Amino acid sequence: MNWKEQVVLVTGGTGSFGKKFIRILMDEYQPKKIIIYSRDELKQHEMRTAGYDHPNLRYFIGDVRDLERMKRAMQGVDIVVHAAALKQVPACEYNPMEAIKTNILGSSNVVNAALDSGVKKVLALSTDKAVSPVNLYGATKLAAEKLVVQSNAYAGKYATRLSCVRYGNVVGSRGSVVPVFLRQRDSGKLSITDDRMTRFWLSLEQGVRFVIKNIEHMQGGEVFVPKIPSMKVIDLAKAIAPDAELDIIGIRPGEKLHEMMISRDESRSTIELDDMYVVLPVEAFWFGGEWQEKGQPVPDGFRYASDDNTEWLELDEIKKIIAPFEEDFAQGKLT
């Protein structure tokens, strides 16, 4: 795919993912145009003054809840990356209808606007919390996944193809536990919900490059899951503050002890490749089946969860990963 001929729209483009995605795209791929679609004029202004002011960038104020605005923004667009979401678990629990309006109805608007505007590819960002969800945020992302995947079935005469990526925690992103631990370090006490807790972990750049790769190779209907390492949250705490006291406060409402990115039920339609898993739609007469030729079906009863992962980060590896964030925190760049 020739990126220099593509017009790309990013919903939620002023977020952590959006900024990193746009930076890498501009530096390495030089698309014809990138449209940053978000609802916050201040964040757009701050992004522009922070150096995101290339002639090929366009700032478009709008909400994914607004179908007509989405249709206007997508005129002439080739690729949509759907990253806009309400993602803070407590906020979604306290404001359930707002989460539904943005994460489910907003995703429906993205799909419909893309179909009506002749967009070629839509790749939506999902989360491990969409697998066997225990909170409303996860439930809304599961519904959004289903909307995106199944919309291939009624694309009809349109050339639009739609897929998802699903991955775990991003190191140092907004809402990450890393800044929390760094803030608590000076007090000599770190709060941990449960000392058995494990998490999948990847960097923001890894997440962005995974998205770019799968935009290039998607056929429509897949959920792409990267192979990434797990870490024990207690090891992360030790890496940041080895001498600090650990205060075990108990699991919060809507929180899991371990994360899962592929369930046993999904494994029946999952293909394993060297660096990722591809979850195929179960009933997809419109699906080409090319992935079955590129990889192998996973074993019966397979699950991909953070507690039984085959790859784990050791303490020294964790320290290397968090070193840049410690420097940013010391300079006041990470809050």
Which residues are designated catalytic? Answer: 129
Cα dihedral 22, 27, 30, 32, rounded to 10, equals: 40
Say how far apart CA 147 and CA 64 lie, in whole Å.
Answer: 15
CA 144 from centroid of its chain's CA atoms: 12
Element containing residue 17 per DSSP (H, E) = helix 16-24
57-61 long-range contacts (CB < 8 A, ≥24 apart) are 57/22, 57/26, 57/33, 58/33, 58/34, 60/9, 60/35, 60/36
Alpha carbon distance, N-terminus to C-terminus of the chain? 38
> Could you tell me which of 11, 21, 7 has the C-alpha nearest to residue 173?
21
Say how far apart CA 184 and CA 167 lie, in whole Å.
Answer: 27
CA angle 138, 222, 31 (to 5 degrees): 100
> Could you tell me which of 20, 332, 23, 15 has the C-alpha nearest to residue 179?
332
Residue 175 is classified by DSSP as T
